Amino acid sequence: MKAAVYREHSKDPRQVVKIEDIDTPKPKANEVLIKVEAASYNYNDLWGIWGEPIKIPMPHISGSDIAGTVVEVGENVTTNIKVGDRVASHPNLTCRVCYECTSGREYDCISRKVWGFQTGPLWGGFAQYTHLPEVNVVKLPDNVSFTDAAAICMVGMTAWHMLVTRAKIRPGQTVLIMGGGSGMGIAGIQIAKLFNCDVIATAGNKDKMDKCLELGADHAVNHREADWYKKVRDITNRQGVDIIYEHIGKTVFPQEVGLLKMGGTLVSTGATTGYDSAIDLRYLFFRGTNLLGATQGTKAGLEEVIRWVSKGRIKPVIDTILPFGNMVEGHVKMADSQLFGKIVTTPQRL
């Protein structure tokens, strides 16, 4: 089969990511083999190529979000997953037996790994075929396309976990969605609107701001402007926001904390501009601020998102679909941040 493989790290994906012929994997007893029809990109794909912030198994196949067709099942597969099923990946690999997992908190499992990022050698979604444990696949409704499913899995599941599970979003709240033009931001806007919240989205230019408004955001602000947080405060009539949906990090974090209402919540799942931020601790204790972290999410959360996609209430936004032979262009484009929505590659189309 064809797979996108890299055997060394580089800041330039074009130097190291190559389409190679490798053996088609065989599923283990508890796994299914999937013919990959669509796979989408995430920022952790770049981290893997760069070799930071963590070490990963080499040689490496990236890709955490896939959708496709089951072509083989292991002998111990006991669920209703069968050959011919249309499925998508739940990329949160956990032990399933520890206290956290059996408490419904698989995202806190000490053994948790992000499939396609921390797994390998040669175990990820950017390939014509891949394998996953049966508990890490979800069935797709017939009206959800492979490309839409691949585009929503990781970001939709994580956004649901951030807003619903962690921040406990309630109807009518004011929610600030940072980076509204990213895959994470697009999912966050739409989930917040499911709860009839007043949504303020930020983006890096006017075009992306306008697209955030088209998605349903009530207001849009350019977070690249020095006084962006003042504009957010003005939109709220200086009352502040209930929830901040954060994944940008260092450049905006101190200002974000200052925008929260009394008892407000900031939930973070990333830090693309840097990790070493600072805050005024008076906001933390005087205002009773909740600072929460969130990574990945539950399989149940992913199934909720897929259900809303099938109902047309969450709409995956795809910036670009690339044939597999040109898939490295997606890494370059994502690194340049010149996109609105997700990039998808189609491994069966070279």
Q: Is residue 211 part of a domain?
A: yes
* Statement: residue 9 has pLDDT above 80: yes
Q: Which residues pair with 219 in a beta bridge?
A: 200
Q: Is residue 305 part of a domain?
A: no
Provide the pLDDT for residue 103.
93
103 and 12 together in one domain: yes
Provide the pLDDT for residue 239.
95
Provide the pLDDT for residue 98.
96
CATH of the domain at 213: 3.40.50.720
Provide the pLDDT for residue 271.
81
Q: Is residue 232 part of a domain?
A: yes
11 and 131 together in one domain: yes
pTM for the structure as a whole: 0.94
Residue 237: pLDDT band with limits 50, 70, 90: very high
211 and 249 together in one domain: yes
112 and 202 together in one domain: no
38 and 119 together in one domain: yes
Is 174 in a helix, a strand, or coil? strand
The answer to whether the beta carbons of residues 235 and 174 sit under 8 Å apart is: no
What is the tens place of the pLDDT at every residue in 33-44?
999 999 999 999
Q: Can you read off the two tokens belonging to residue 67?
A: 């959708």
Residue 193: pLDDT band with limits 50, 70, 90: very high
Q: Can you read off the two tokens belonging to residue 160?
A: 């649901």
CATH of the domain at 116: 3.90.180.10
Q: Is residue 221 part of a domain?
A: yes
242 and 189 together in one domain: yes
Q: Is residue 121 part of a domain?
A: yes
135 and 166 together in one domain: no
Q: Is residue 279 part of a domain?
A: yes
7 and 121 together in one domain: yes
102 and 170 together in one domain: no
96 and 222 together in one domain: no
Q: Which helix (H) or strand (E) holds 73?
A: strand 65-73
What is the tens place of the pLDDT at every residue in 248-298?
888 888 899 999 999 999 999 988 777 888 888 888 888 899 999 998 899
Q: Can you read off the two tokens belonging to residue 63?
A: 């890709």
Provide the pLDDT for residue 276.
84
Q: Is residue 144 part of a domain?
A: no
Is 131 in a helix, a strand, or coil? strand
Long-range contacts, stretch 28-31, CB < 8 angstroms, 24+ apart: 28/74, 28/131, 28/133, 29/74, 29/75, 29/76, 29/77, 30/74, 30/76, 30/77, 30/133, 30/134, 30/135, 31/73, 31/74, 31/77, 31/131, 31/132, 31/133, 31/134
Residue 269 belongs to domain spanning: 157-293
244 and 333 together in one domain: no
* Statement: residue 337 has pLDDT above 80: no
Provide the pLDDT for residue 30.
96
Cα separation, 60 vs 233, in Å, equals: 45
What is the tens place of the pLDDT at every residue in 76-92?
998 789 999 999 999 99
Domain count within the chain:
2
Q: Which of 141, 142, 185, 145 is nearest to 38 (CA)?
A: 145
What is the tens place of the pLDDT at every residue in 70-79?
999 999 998 7
Q: Is residue 162 part of a domain?
A: yes
Cα separation, 126 vs 115, in Å, equals: 11
* Statement: residue 136 has pLDDT above 90: yes
122 and 16 together in one domain: yes
